[in-house]
Amino acid sequence: MRVVFMGTPDFSVSILEAIVQAGHEVVLAVTQPDKPKGRGKAEQFPPVKECALKHGIEVFQPVRIRDDANVEYLKKYEADIMVVAAFGQILPKSILDMPKYGCLNVHASLLPKYRGAAPIQWAVINGDEITGVTTMRMDVGIDTGDMIAKREVRLSEDETGGSLFDKLAEVGAQLCVETMDMLEKGTAVFTPQNNEASSHTSMINKELGNIDWNKSAVEIERLIRGLNPWPSAYTYLDGKTFKIWKARVVEGSSEYQPGQMYPAGKGKLCVQTGDGMLELLEVQLEGKKRMDIASFCNGYPIQAGTFLRA
């Protein structure tokens, strides 16, 4: 099939790669504009652009895909199908109706659960045991189109946002190619979503990572895993940002107040929460490298009762 691919982050790259490897003709890759990054504010290509250029695929980076000029630009490619995976812009009906087989979306949740942004991180933060990927025929709503195929993925006990991202990207790539095959052969079955059972997720931002020590140890530990590697969960120690990369829930006394730390043996450090104790395993103090807790304690001794502040 002639394919116009729309996507932006790393999650989209594995899907684009799978489409190319399956022998489809990707005639255009549509992605978000380059963005400045780092102290030098140098323009950085989105991951999909890098992948497309590697394969010699033309790249289109509209600021607003729905502008009339951009809609007309897409028409000239006469795509059989448009595949959309974490593109980051809402498509108008004029584009949705353009390809012969419509617009196929690859969404990293088991719809109708977790419509919207950041379904991967929220699955970890909310303590889900199972998530997955859904392919659907897009309509004018946000992740509301008819479902075509699903694939479940079980979360491990130590699942992070990053590790789940990798799992779902691989599953999504396989499912996308399979769904394209079903559409081309006319065997695809379209199942309407149950809107009453739907849920929506919000964007992930850095402020979400600011740990509220009044919450339970279980909730905080899931937040730490869900926001690893970005934007990371953090607190403040002696006025400095203190990132917590890994922790575990442990049993302990409740003689301390939420946010108070105490050494729990050589090279061990625990924090009281609103419900239970959290043992810190991997941390990073502002200006320092990420390190295991034993190494941190060796260079930064903590007095019992020291507070971590939100």
| CATH number reported for the structural domain that contains residue 271 in this entry | 3.10.25.10
Domain that holds residue 247: 206-299
Last residue of a domain, one of 201, 223, 251: 201
Longest alpha-carbon distance in the chain: 70
Cβ atoms of residues 289 and 242 within 8 Å: no
Tell me the whole-structure pTM to 2 decimals: 0.94
Could you read off the pLDDT of 136-182 as tens digits, one per residue? 999 999 999 999 999 999 999 999 999 999 999 999 999 999 999 99
In a 3-state reduction of DSSP, which class is residue 270? strand
Last residue of a domain, one of 176, 201, 226: 201
| Residue 175 shares a structural domain with residue 29 | yes
| Residue 86 shares a structural domain with residue 232 | no
Last residue of a domain, one of 182, 201, 220: 201
Q: Is residue 263 part of a domain?
A: yes
- Rounded to whole angstroms, the Cα distance separating 85 from 9 reads 9
Q: Is residue 215 part of a domain?
A: yes
| Residue 159 shares a structural domain with residue 216 | no
227 confidence band (pLDDT: 50, 70, 90) = very high
Cβ atoms of residues 123 and 161 within 8 Å: no
41 confidence band (pLDDT: 50, 70, 90) = confident
Q: Is residue 310 part of a domain?
A: no
Could you read off the pLDDT of 202-220 as tens digits, one per residue? 999 999 999 999 999 999 9
What is the 3 state secondary structure string of 129-180? CEEEEEEEECCCCCCCCEEEEEEEEECCCCCCHHHHHHHHHHHHHHHHHHHH
In a 3-state reduction of DSSP, which class is residue 292? strand
| Residue 117 shares a structural domain with residue 243 | no
CA distances to 69, 80, 100 from 75, rounded to whole Å, are 10, 11, 12
Could you read off the pLDDT of 260-289 as tens digits, one per residue? 999 888 889 999 999 999 999 999 999 999
| Residue 98 shares a structural domain with residue 242 | no
Q: Is residue 267 part of a domain?
A: yes
User: Is the pLDDT confidence value at 254 over 80?
Assistant: no
Q: Is residue 123 part of a domain?
A: yes
| Residue 187 shares a structural domain with residue 218 | no
Domain count, the chain: 2
